[in-house]
Amino acid sequence: MKVFLIRHGESEGNAKEIHQSDDISLSDMGKNQAHKLGKRLQNLGIEVLLASPIIRTQESAGIINEYLKVPLIYDPRLREIRRPSEIVGRPLNDPEVMKIKELIKESHHTQYHYSDEENFFDLRTRVQEFLQELNTRDESVVAIVTHGITMRMIMAEMFLGIDFTHELFHKIASFFFVTNTGVTICEHQDKVWHLLSWNDHGHLHC
């Protein structure tokens, strides 16, 4: 199985650099990015499109599928990590927001919750469930439209499995940047995942 992992197009929240709610739409740039990616992917043999049900990913997947014309399935396990309600809609660099996020980060080795957010273990569990089901699908080529943190958790599970910890995941999340509509290609062969490309966004420069 070959898997195209795709981050959604730029959202209005990305453009404003805020922590986003689920109902924030794509910006005009994000829609343009999704059209460019759809054109690029249309002849690559993709058989099914799996997507997060959050609005910015729904919109991205819908535009991409104008070109692919394949079954489009929304899976809540592909949604972005849920942040505490207290920081939603607030700037990424807000000092109070940064303090809350640091407190959560320091507690990721436990089952701690600041309020109603998902922690490391919550996210990891739903990604594990998704990957177990993905491995049972019949398609040979699958595209997945998801979010930056969720994509990096998928990658960590694919390639590190039980060998990665919350500390290592924070390094992956910090250093392995994902561009809006960036494409990462993986292949599952002989029970092992192989990384073919990371964050390819050449279509944005065409």
Residue stretches of the annotated binding site for substrate: 7-14, 56
């990665």: which residue's tokens? Answer: 164
The annotation places the binding site at: 7-14, 56
Rounded-to-10 torsion of CA 160, 122, 98, 92: 90
Q: Within 10 Å of residue 195's Cβ, how many Cβ atoms? A: 12
* Rounded CA separation 8/11 (Å): 8
Amino acid at 56: R
Which residues touch 9 (CB under 8 Å, ≥6 apart)? Answer: 26, 27, 29, 30, 31, 32, 33, 34, 37, 56, 59, 60, 63, 180, 181
CB 37 within 8 A of CB 43: no
